[in-house]
């Protein structure tokens, strides 16, 4: 089935370590997005990419980095500069009919 | 993209219709209204979208007022599995050249009860 795969579902890291969250899609969508969600809050946009080898900062990009070397893949790196990295991270892709979301990665930094 | 306003929470008895309102008074002429829902700890799921006509699919109905400043999502026979956070979003079509980065507010938390 076509869709977006995020892995892993749960991730634990020690404070000060960088960590990369995977997002893969087989929907042939050009635009991809990373959102962060904190408990009881809406989704906040971290980074987005409308085409391969191009990406733009969203509303809360500080402490994060991305790459878009392939259409199918849009990995997110949470760096040690991100002050509050513990959150639920959602990847999405977009066509004219709307967003398709992955199932999310819950990152806990201890 | 225009901003939306939704009540923070609603309750609905199982089997009854759930009517979830959304205000989008600054919506532009080419912006669509989208509804998504998020069940706890999962990614949001697309429900329905519309421009100005009422829409219906297997999940829900969308009623958009004539002035397009508000809309209502209707779940005709709510079940316990419909308990979720429902997000109303407006956005322009992709071919308008906008970034189409959607803004998700805090939505409406619908609790369906026995």
What value does the mean pLDDT of chain A take? 92
Instruction: Point out which residues pair with B110 in neighbouring strands.
Output: B10, B84
- Tens of pLDDT, residue by residue over A39-86, are 888 889 999 998 999 999 998 999 999 999 999 999 999 999 888 999
Residue B77 pLDDT exceeds 80: yes
| Token output for A62 | 């500080």
* B87 contact A CB<8A: yes
- What's the pLDDT at B106? 83
- Which 8-state DSSP code applies to residue A14? -
Rg (CA), chain B: 14
* Band of pLDDT at residue B104, cut at 50, 70 and 90: confident
Q: How much is the average pLDDT of A77-105?
A: 90
Across the beta sheet with B9-13, the strand order is: B9-13, B108-113, B84-91, B32-38, B45-50
d(CA A50, CA A71): 10
| Token output for B14 | 């199982």
The answer to whether the CB atoms of A98 and B49 lie below 8 A apart is yes
- Tens of pLDDT, residue by residue over B14-52, are 999 999 999 999 998 888 899 999 998 889 999 999 999
Q: Residues of A with CB below 8 A from B94's CB?
A: 31, 94-96
Exposed, middle or buried by CB within 10 Å (0-12, 13-18, 19+), for B114? exposed
Of A4, A90, A94, the CB nearest to B100: A94
Query: Percentage of chain A surpassing pLDDT 70?
Result: 96
In angstroms, the separation between the Cα of residue A3 and the nearest Cα of chain B is 12
The answer to whether the CB atoms of B101 and A92 lie below 8 A apart is no
* A27 contact B CB<8A: no
- Which 8-state DSSP code applies to residue B98? -
Q: What angle do CA A86, B35, B15 make, to 5 degrees?
A: 105
Q: Residues of A with CB below 8 A from B3's CB?
A: none
- What's the pLDDT at A79? 94
Instruction: Point out which residues pair with A47 in neighbouring strands.
Output: A34, A57
């Amino acid at each position: 089935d076509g869709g977006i795969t995020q892995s892993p579902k749960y991730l634990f890291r020690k404070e000060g370590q960088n960590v990369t969250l995977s997002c893969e899609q087989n929907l042939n969508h050009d635009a991809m997005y990373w959102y962060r969600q904190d408990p009881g809050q809406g989704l906040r946009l971290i980074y987005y990419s409308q085409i391969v080898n191009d990406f733009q900062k969203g509303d809360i990009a500080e402490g994060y980095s991305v790459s878009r070397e392939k259409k199918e893949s849009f990995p997110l790196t949470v760096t040690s500069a991100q002050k509050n990295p513990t959150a639920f991270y959602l990847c999405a892709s977009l066509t004219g009919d709307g967003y398709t979301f992955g199932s999310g990665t819950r990152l806990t930094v201890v | 993209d225009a901003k939306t306003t939704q009540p923070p929470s609603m309750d609905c008895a199982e089997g009854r219709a759930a009517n979830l309102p959304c205000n989008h008074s600054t919506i532009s002429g080419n912006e669509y209204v989208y509804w998504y829902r998020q069940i706890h700890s999962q990614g949001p799921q697309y429900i329905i979208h519309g421009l100005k006509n009422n829409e219906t699919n297997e999940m829900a109905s969308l009623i958009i007022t004539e002035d397009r400043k508000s809309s209502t999502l209707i779940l005709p026979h709510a079940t316990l599995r419909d308990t979720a956070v429902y997000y109303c979003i407006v956005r322009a079509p992709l071919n308008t050249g906008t970034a189409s980065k959607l803004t998700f507010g805090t939505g409406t938390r619908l609790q369906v009860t026995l």
